A and B are shown apart, each in its own frame.
Chain A
Amino acid sequence: MFKIALHSLLSRRLTVILSIITVALSVLLLVGVERLRTEARNSFSNTVSGTDLIVGARTGSVQLLLYSVFRVGNATNNIGWDSYQKLAHDRRVAWTIPVSLGDSHHGFAVLGTTPDYFKYLRFGENQPLKMSAGAPFAKTHDAVLGAHVASKMGYTLGQKIVLTHGSGEGAMSEHADQPFTIVGILAPTGTPVDDTVHVSLDGLTAIHEGWESGSASLLSSSGVLAADEARAVPPPATITAFYVGLKSRTALFSYQRAVNQFHDETLMAIMPGVALSELWQLMKIAEQALLIVSGFVLVIGLMGMLTALLTGLNERRREMAILRSVGARAWQIFVLVMGETLLLVSIGTAVGIALLYSLLLICKPILREVYSLNIAINPPTPNEWGLMAATIIAGFLIGSIPAWRAYRMSLSDGLSPH
């Protein structure tokens, strides 16, 4: 019986393969959308860990989070150094990391900060940053590279690099007079840190001296400023934002209120986790729309399979009748057709998942390169198992229609064609 069924399938291989491909592609889309959604979320949430608050100029909280942590978009305003000093010396504060953005190096963001960055910044499950080579910057013209910057550009310790003024599109304005020496390379984190060139705030101040008019002055291009490494650099006038770690979490909201009501400057403090929740809230509608569309694609795929099965059934009247004549019961015919549908849907689902994983493997470096989105190749989540189970249950329901018809026909049909 099983052998006959298999041969029957083989003789119809074109329709069978097409049915499997339809189901596979729909499953690929459905599970793929779900996968991208969860992976994007994980990638974002892994980036901010252990930071209680982020303080910046007053804008939307999502916007502040995006530019200060993910380098998406630009700051509307900076924070004065005096304000930062005042807020950083609050008695509730354990540590702060000042962050100054704006310059770039071959498309990678340059971030000015203090050595506290390497001491206090956390990612993933509260993991500290690790150096894969060298040490944090100590001198004005030292630079520490993220893992991806080093691997993509092929940089090693001791090499000199030149920073570009601004985002790098107007490539003429390079800080060529004051090159930075690579003193450290960070271990990979899977966060925007990997795509960042870290220098000291002093370094950023030094290269921008005499740049008030937007281009290098004679003094700064003469190299005089660069030569004297020990020269005291004045503190920067402004920074882009700063991260705050508090001594006690219970002081979080009172400190946040203090920042939001700060008199010298209009600032805002955001809880990164809460801002992320707000971002997901914004994205929810788009995500749901995508999920609904891919759900419909699956339904259409299954309908296509149903059509193929029902048309095939008419052509198989003789086959069924012969099966009956050699002793097959009507219920066996039902099971046969049902089993066939379930087999097709299961193979389709498996092929779809296999396609998804191969696509993820292929697209991983591309997503990493173009969108800085880190996709981990993990086994399916419970949600994804649920989607697969739903697909097979839908296949079961759909398979019962041709199975029932075959059952009825095999009861009424004789051997001779009508």
Chain B
Amino acid sequence: MKRFITLALLAIPLSTFAHEHGAHVHGAAEIDVAIEGKKLVITLESPADNLLGFERAPKTDAEKAKLKSVAEQLNNAALLFVPDAAAQCKAAAPVVNMPTFKAGEHSDIDAEYSFECAKAPSSVALALWKTFPKFKKLTANIATDKGQQQAQLKSGQTLNLK
């Protein structure tokens, strides 16, 4: 019993810490999807581990190369998000923030993708499942003309915006 209380007390500062900094779960990530008229904006926020396989400053040449290639992949919207063809979307240049790797901390990568479309897309294929197979599930926060909702997506699923 005593041990349990000590454990519980230990857990309190840890959990508040996690709360302050947002959840950080390896294998999972959050995307924010907003549609306003013909404009589609998707923000990806993910633990660096999902994309890189490590969360500290790169040490070996292989890790340095990996960091560079992931940055290149993230800068190509088509490797992550593909709006349905009927919407005829054109991707603008993504804004990618690579991690700064502070010692002893989890690292996150975030990136923003904007598209100008001929009409509001009804779905977005998630090419990122293939590009970054370490992603197992995504939480999508969606805001469109029809309202807001949250969707839980598993590997391979398509983002439905109807």
Contact = CB atoms under 8 A, between A and B. Distances in A.
B35 interface: yes
Contact of A253 (B39, B43, B147): B43
A277 B149 contact: yes
B135 to A, nearest CB: 19
Contacts of B148: 271-274
Interface stretch (A9-17, A157-165, A244-252): A244-252
A273 B147 contact: yes
A77 interface: no
A265 to B, nearest CB: 14
Interface centre among A252, A253, A278, A281 (most CB of B within 10 A): A253
Contacts, number: 43
B76 to A, nearest CB: 21
Interface string B134-162: 00000001111001111110000000000
A250 B148 CA distance: 13
A271 B148 CA distance: 7
B34 interface: yes
A271 B143 contact: yes
Interface residues of B, number: 18
A157 B152 CA distance: 49
B contacts with A: majority SS: strand
A271 B142 CA distance: 9
B46 to A, nearest CB: 15
A contacts with B: majority SS: helix
B41 interface: yes
B147 A249 contact: no
A274 B36 contact: no
Interface in A28-77: 45, 49, 52
Contacts of B35: 249
Nearest to B147: A273
Contact of A273 (B34, B36, B39, B149): B149
Contacts of A281: 150, 152
B147 A274 contact: no
B149 A250 contact: no
A253 B150 contact: no
Interface of A: 45, 49, 52, 248-250, 252-253, 271-274, 276-278, 281
25 contacts: A45-B147, A52-B143, A248-B36, A249-B34, A249-B35, A250-B36, A250-B41, A250-B114, A252-B32, A252-B143, A253-B32, A253-B43, A253-B141, A271-B143, A273-B143, A273-B147, A273-B148, A273-B149, A273-B150, A274-B142, A274-B149, A274-B150, A277-B149, A277-B151, A278-B150
